[in-house]
Structure 1
Amino acid sequence: VTGRVTDRESGDRLAGANIYIAGTRVGTASDAEGHFTLEIPERLRGKFRLVASYVGSHDRTRPLALPLDRDVTVDFALAPSQLYMDQIVVTGTRTERFLKDTPVTTQVIKSREIAESGSNNIADVIQEVTGVTIEQHDRFGSVTDLQGFDSNHILFLVNGIKVIGRLNGQFDISQIPAADIERIEIVKGATSAIYGSQAMGGVINIITRKPRHRLQLNGNLKIGSYRRINSGLTASLPIGAWSSKLFLGLRRFGGFDLDASDPFEDGSRFQKYNASLQAAGPVGNAAQVSGELSYFNERQKRILNNVFEAQTTNNRGEFKLSAKADSLLPISVKANLEYSLYRHEYGQIVRSSGFYKASDPTDNGYLLTEFLAHKTLGKHALNAGYSLEHETIRSRRVVNQFQQSVLQSLFIQDEYKLSAALTLLAGARYDHHSIYGQQLSPKISFMFSPWHTGRIRFGYGRGFRAPAFKELFLDFYVSDVNLTLKGNPDLKPEQSDALNLDYEYWNNNNYHVRLNLFYNQITEMISDVRVPGQGLTYTYKNFEKVKTWGGEWDMDFFPTDWLELKMGYRYMDSWVSTTGQALSGKLKHKGHTSLMFSLPHHIKWNIRALFYGPRYDYYIDDATGELSDKIKIPSYVLIHSNLSYRTPWHVKLILGVRNLTDYVKKFWGPMPGREWYAGFSFNY
């Protein structure tokens, strides 16, 4: 029996699919092109059932009656599974695990969901995940929130490697395009035990598509309101035993102005360019090597008043090299090397003359050398790692115009199968930092599997966030308003203790339900404060204690082959020691629901609604230290919809709308009104 296995939705050839005769051990696997050949033993000739299976897809069975004197060709087009419990994930334990078997609660967004959402960037995608909030900021871009932790306390990874380029501690996740993403893994709660600083609130790991060992060309183009253009092109090329991939992306946005009566422009105009080149292949018979070069350029402009226009420029270049050997030594080993450079520059343009007045640029450098090891001993799955990180900042706004730090880290982790139904995961990480000293971060998790399709997980973790360079060494004077900003070299790391209790249950074909309860206590919180008796002079201090707690519920339900329903809700409350109030600007209530229809003739339509509950913003009076007036930010609902049609010529046509209700938010993160878009994608 010969044939080929493909994905029914995309038409992609599926490499490594299993093809076997039901009830026997006779089987084979598809090659890189999805082709397979299976020899049928004499004793089985006649009637039998041939099964094709692939991770993340529904099995397909074909009954056959094979004459003795003739070969047959059987092709399988496997439908993607709506549930991803057999999806391989890596973020929660830093080793490959099926999603259903990882002891650390992990949420996954697949490329199919990204494509069908019509999202422009990663920020648009993850804001529809239960428990994740994205806020648009006029200076910091798309700011992420997990369980009350903003992006200052969240570690962002691309293919498992840290991404640099934060502004005042905030990382703009919209810098990453959605076009080249394979999946996104989200782990909430303190994960400093394996990732160190910045992971006290959680980890978001964006995993791009791997190079394919065949000639392949993918592309997309989308044009929308506000002069928006989103485009991407991916080309894969085999080179001997190696695979390579080139990605090019361009995004443009024309900005928006919500009030024509003033000269101020609410939404920035921007253009963003992304480029990456990846290669992967074997070195000898024992090791696999992969490398990547990537570049990002962004320029934003926004009118400030009748005289000036602001311009922000960001550039980031990265080089990554990874080598993995499973059979060279008695243990599986992996080595990672990364070198990144990031430059941020803010300036103002005189609108009448075009004269550009640049502020002082900030240059960040980051070098990582990392070694990981894995060994399975009976019921123990042992992991250990060592890393050396060197980070620099060069700016006229920091003391001596240059600062650097060296961090050495060691972690160890044991995943112990206590019984068929109970797994224990315990680990700790030791960090030695050249500025703030030593840090120990333990973590322990239990996973109880009372049923084949049910999991109960409980975890405790200690997290921390090291003070940023500018919090330690800022030295800046704003002459226009007589304002002085100074860092504090005596700052200590922020600390957090996190508890998570998670229950999930699923049926392989119909539904998935998850309930998560969380509690976080943060001490030594770093905040900016006014220095008494020194006019408008501000510095940073460890003085706040913060608590956050709440629950999350989400459900995926597939009543028929043509309908998918998703729902989710999060409640979160918080307390700040200095004010006795909840955290300023944080949502207590957030919910979402979506309907996806798979219609005849390869037509898909979805409609998605997001609910944002009311919240309160307040400020502390600098002179008195008292709480200022509370400002209520009212609740609102956003509705998005996307329609797609896959033609017989490997081209998909797209039409959609974001913010269907035309909700406009001018303050606390400007938001434009309704946005229409249309486009296409292709896969050859």
Structure 2
Amino acid sequence: MFKIIFSIVGALMLPVITFSQHHSHNHGHEIADSLTYKQISEITVQGALANKLNFPYQMVLGEEAVSHGFITPANALHHVPGVALSRDAIWATSVNIRGFSESKLLFLADGDRMQTASDVAGVLSTVDMGNLEKIEVIKGAGSVIYGTGAMGGVVNFVTKRPGYTEKFKTNGQFSTGFHSVNSLWENNLNVNLTNHDWYLTLDGSYRMAQNTTTPDGKLANSQFNDASWGLKGGMRNGDNQELQVNYNHFEAWDVGLPGGSVFTPGAIVRYLGFTRNQLNGEYVFKDLSHVLKVLSIKAYTQNIKREVENVANSTTAVFPGSYNVTSGLKATADLYFNDYETMTVGVEGWNRDQQTSRMKISTASDTIVIREQPTPRANMFDVGIFAQHKWVVDPKYWTINTGLRLDFIRTANDTAFREISRYKYVNGVRTEVPANKTVLFQEGTKNELAYSAHIDVAFKPAERHKLILSIANAYRVASIEERFKYIDQLGMPLVGNPDLKPEKGLFSNLSYAYTGKKLLFNTDIFASYLFDLITEKEGLYSGIPAWISTNVDQALYLGGEFDLKWLISHVLDFETHASYVYAIDAKTKEHLPFIPALHGIVKLHYHFHDKIGAYAEMDWEFESEEEHGESHEAHRHAIFNAGFHTTPRKIGMINVQFTGGVHNIMNLAYEEHLSSLRGINRLEPGRNVFLKAKILF
């Protein structure tokens, strides 16, 4: 399969290279953007992809995430307007972007797809917080760049990578920290070796945490342990060619799952293991001709393994597991025609293989063991071509960006049976028992064609002011899990549907940005209309009540966001933002479930002689009765946080830096609206005092 992808990519990129070598040389004028600080800008979301579309985009710096004491990447993203935290556990967290949950979002690690089952959160937490350079977020339809899966938005985790130096140098950093709320001890090490033509970097981390303390006591089964290590290398041949290689291994174990809607209320569930391995290589050519400015070819493979233990009651335990491998190849070319017109074209192919297993053990009388397959062995193959064009109509006022993507998608699966085998132990002797060979899903293959398009018009009515109108269509084919899953954790089963239609949608976004000398203001108003929305509805499957994946009628999403930053003085700045989403079934007019509540942050930041900075913030959420039924006090709250950070201070041969703070200063008892915590105690973490020291060498 990988050879097929490589052949297709090579064939489709050859005309681009040939065209660029014969294109006439057109020279234009340099274009200067009057906005020196932009929230919505031309962005590079993926290593080789210089995106020219003005998507609603925001970024969280890795250093900012560390200094604020966030435990998982999703905690850090919760501070981005339009992004809400979704929680299955303290460790197992995810995000919701403008009302779209994890299944409608695409997550990338250094531009590589992170694909696994989304019935329980976890994949975002496999990113090492201490090795993050930044987190990039596209809000809205990203299908025109990334294809299926990017309907609701894209999150890309960019890890640290050193630069080249004139002579051989070594540097690095070691950090250690502690959080009082769960006795979290975290450690991170990074070592860089750099030279004029090459670099090598090694990083690693280790964390362990006990049960989290809430205002009502300990949150049982909320402990976690994780560790990671990675190796990056780079080598350049002159100024125009560069090779980059990256390997990363992450592993978590004994991770408590006090949440998760697929489990029964009294179940004790944990990840026995959660492992992610990533390997990629990228070769970049620069200035091949006057037209072909950058040509990038990247290959990657990533596997994710999950092992779960579900002790449903005193006599029954369930052990599900899954193994997903995603491999891909991508080639992109940045074309320059003149200072007013540029284009990015590319081709991408990827293949995902999935295997699942489930073992049920019952000791009510004899010990009975049942082996099952939650989903059949299946794979999804996707190959797509895309183009993005930027036209500066008037350097002072108008810019038009367009994009188009075409995809071929093939999904194939083996036959799946209700049971693979069944046996029991009587007086220690194993005895085979006839298994239930009822067919859940027949072997099959499905081919689909899809396209997506995007256009945005940017207008600058005056200096420091900018308006952008973006219109896009997007699609998302049903995932392997939505088509074929049969999840039975001793509650109501979740059953897939092989005949699901792709989700389709129309998306619009109107942005306004003002960039003053001391004031930055951004606001977005958006509307999305979805067709054939995939959701779960209660029904009968083989005579058994179940939640079945189903296409429903149209859905309407409306909302808005704003973000304001004000430099009050050279030592004091103010920041606030808020976001709101309103989502209904367009036919029944009923409110859609699992939509984030109105949420915002107010923050003051003080700088003292460039030596120490301190902040105080209020994180608030308001849930209306009209949208979510009877009001719950815990879904209307205001949390107060404070913290500090110092600049590096030289002590001998090293520099030392400290960060710390307090989360939930008032120790307020509250629940997150999108939390799935089960049992009696469903509260968010209580007061947390954290302190972190960093040594730079």
Compute the TM-score of the two structures, normalised by the length of structure 1. 0.79
SS at match of 1:179: helix
Q: Which one of the candidate residues 454, 469, 485 is aligned to 2:480?
A: 469
1:542 is paired with a residue whose SS is: strand
The alignment status of 1:223 with 2:178, answered yes or no, reads yes
Count of residues paired in the alignment: 585
- Give the equivalent residue in structure 2 for 1:245: 201
**Which residue of the partner structure matches residue 346 of structure 1?**
308
Which amino acid is the alignment partner of residue 227 of structure 1? S
- Counterpart of 1:108 in 2: which secondary structure? strand
Cα separation, 2, equivalents of 1:487 and 1:576: 22
Three-state SS of the structure 2 residue aligned to 1:395 is strand
**Deviation sequence 1:390-420 (CA, Å, 0-9, x none):** 1111113658841112111111111111111
**Structure 1 residues 395-404 or 88-97, which shifts more?**
88-97
Aligned to 1:561: 570
2:525 is the alignment partner of 1:521: no
SS in 2 for 1:410: strand
Q: 1:143 aligns with which of 74, 94, 103?
A: 94
User: Contact 2:150/2:476 (CA < 8 Å) preserved in 1?
Assistant: yes
CA contact (8 A) 1:276 1:295 kept: yes
- Residue 112 (structure 2) pairs with residue 161 (structure 1): yes
Q: What code does the residue aligned with 1:469 have?
A: I
Which residue of structure 2 lines up, in the alignment, with residue 55 of structure 1?
none
Q: Structure 1 residues 129 and 484, CA, compared in 2 at 3 Å: closer, same or farther?
A: closer
Deviation of 1:631 after TM superposition, in Å, equals 6.5
Q: Aligned with 1:664: secondary structure?
A: coil
- The answer to whether the 8 Å contact 2:72/2:93 transfers is no
- Which residue identity is paired with 1:543? V
Of 446, 451, 467, the match for 2:462: 451
Contact kept, 8 Å, 1:158 with 1:205, in 2: the verdict is yes
- Give the % identical residues: 17
Distance verdict in 2 for CA 1:381–1:235, change over 3 Å: same
| Matched letter for residue 602 of structure 2 | T
The two structures have a TM-score, normalised by structure 2, of: 0.77
The separation in 2 between residues aligned to 1:88 and 1:545, in whole angstroms, is 32
2:662: which partner in 1? 657
Contact map agreement 2:575 2:602 (CA 8 A) in 1: yes
Quick one: which amino acid aligns to residue 360 of structure 1? P
Residue aligning to 1:200: 151
Distance between the aligned counterparts of 1:556 and 1:674, measured in 2?
A: 27
CA 1:634–1:422: 2 relative to 1, 3 Å: same
1:545–1:633 Cα change, 3 Å: farther
Question: Alignment partner for residue 277 of structure 1, among 231, 246, 254?
Answer: 231
Q: Given the superposition, is the C-alpha separation of residues 601 and 450 from structure 1 closer, same or farther in structure 2, using an over 3 Å criterion? A: closer
Q: Which residue of 2 aligns with 1:384?
A: 345
Task: Determine if contact 2:285/2:295 at 8 Å carries over to the other structure.
Answer: yes
Q: Are 1:278 and 1:293, in contact at CA under 8 Å, matched by a contact in 2?
A: yes
The aligned amino acid for 2:252 is E
From the superposition, tell whether residues 303 and 201 of structure 1 become closer, same or farther in structure 2 (CA, over 3 Å): closer
CA 1:139 to 1:361, structure 2 compared with 1: closer, same or farther past 3 Å?
farther
Q: Which residue of 2 aligns with 1:428?
A: 404
SS at match of 1:582: coil
Counterparts in 2 of 1:571 and 1:358: CA distance versus 1, 3 Å:
closer
**Correspondence 1:49-128 to 2 at 5 A:** 89-91=43-45, 95-96=49-50, 103-128=54-79
2:327 aligned residue: 367
Contact 1:566 1:594 (C-alpha < 8 Å) held by counterparts: yes
Look up the SS of the partner of 2:129 in the other structure: coil
* Contact 1:257 1:267 (8 Å CA) reproduced: no
Q: Deviations over 1:407-448 (max 9, x none)?
A: 111111111111112111111111111135011101111111
Higher relative contact order (CA closer than 8 Å, sequence separation 6+): 2
Matching residue's letter, 1:648: K
* Closer, same or farther: CA 600–568 of 1 in aligned 2, 3 Å: same
Shift of 1:198: 1.6
In structure 2, C-alpha distance between the alignment counterparts of 1:107 and 1:459, rounded to whole Å: 16
Residue 499 (structure 1) shift: 0.3
Cα distance in 2 between the residues matched to 1:438 and 1:400: 24
- C-alpha deviation, 1:358, in angstroms: 6.1
Note the 1:277-676 alignment, pairs <5 A. Answer: 277-283=231-237, 286-302=240-256, 310-328=270-288, 331=292, 332-348=294-310, 359-378=319-338, 379-396=340-357, 401-420=376-395, 421-435=397-411, 436-477=447-488, 480=490, 483-507=492-516, 509-532=517-540, 534-577=543-586, 580-600=589-609, 602-615=611-624, 634-646=635-647, 647-649=649-651, 650-665=655-670, 669=675, 670=682, 671-676=684-689
Equivalent in the alignment of 1:236: 192
1-side partners of 2:686 and 2:584: how far apart?
33
Q: Is the 8 A contact 1:288 1:324 kept in 2?
A: yes
Q: Do the aligned partners of 2:39 and 2:57 also contact (CA within 8 Å) in 1?
A: no
Code of the aligned partner of 1:474: K
Mark the runs of 5 or more structure 2 residues left unpaired by the alignment.
Answer: 1-35, 259-264, 358-371, 412-446, 676-681
**Unpaired stretches in structure 1, ≥5 consecutive residues:** 1-80, 620-627
